[in-house]
Amino acid sequence: MGSTKYIMSMGELTRKDNSLCFRRDGKNVYIPVENTKEIFCFNEVSINTKLLDFLSQNNIIIHFYNYYGGERGAYDPKDHYLSGKLLVKQVLKYENDRMSVARAIVKGIGLNIYEVLYHYYKHGKKEVKETTDWIKSDFIRLVEQSQDVKELMAYEGEAWRRFYADFKYFLPEDFVMNKRVKRPPDNPINALVSFGNTLLYTKTISAIYQTHLDQRISFLHEPSVGRFSLSLDMSEVFKPVIVFRTIFDLVNNHRIQVEKHFEKNVNYCILNEEGRKIFVKAFEERMESVFEHSRLKRKVTYRTALKLDCYKLIKNILEDKEFVPFSLKEGM
Residues of the chain with pLDDT > 90, as a percent, come to: 60
- Specify whether the CB–CB gap between 258 and 265 falls below 8 A: no
Domains of the chain: 4-65 (3.100.10.20), 82-319 (1.20.120.920)
Alpha-carbon gap, residue 272 to 260, rounded angstroms: 9
* Tens-place pLDDT, residues 117-147: 999 999 999 999 999 999 999 999 999 999 9
Helix (H) or strand (E) holding 195: helix 188-209
**84-122 and 149-165 helices cross at what angle (nearest 10)?**
30
Predicted TM-score of the model (pTM) = 0.84
The answer to whether residues 41 and 64 touch, using CB atoms and an 8 Å cutoff, is yes
Q: Which amino acid is at 90?
A: Q
Distance CA 211, CA 229 (A): 15
143 contacts 152 by C-beta, under 8 angstroms = yes
Beta strands in 179-305 (DSSP E): 262-264, 269-271, 290-293, 298-301
Alpha-carbon distance 16 to 12, whole Å? 12
CB 149 within 8 A of CB 98: yes
Q: How confident is the model at residue 34 (pLDDT cuts 50, 70, 90)?
A: confident
Point out the least confidently predicted range of 19-23, 174-178, 238-242, 311-315.
174-178
Residue 78's pLDDT is what?
Answer: 63
**Of 26-35, 147-156, 182-191, 253-262, which range is least confident?**
182-191
pLDDT over 80 at 179, yes or no: no
d(CA 2, CA 38): 10
- The set of residues, in sequence order, having a beta carbon less than 8 Å from that of 142 and lying 6+ positions away, is 155
pLDDT for 262-283, tens place per residue? 888 767 788 998 999 999 999 9
State pLDDT tens for residues 68-110.
Answer: 777 788 887 765 566 678 999 999 999 999 999 999 999 999 9
What percentage of residues in the chain have a pLDDT greater than 70?
95
The CA R_g of the chain, rounded to the nearest whole Å, is 20
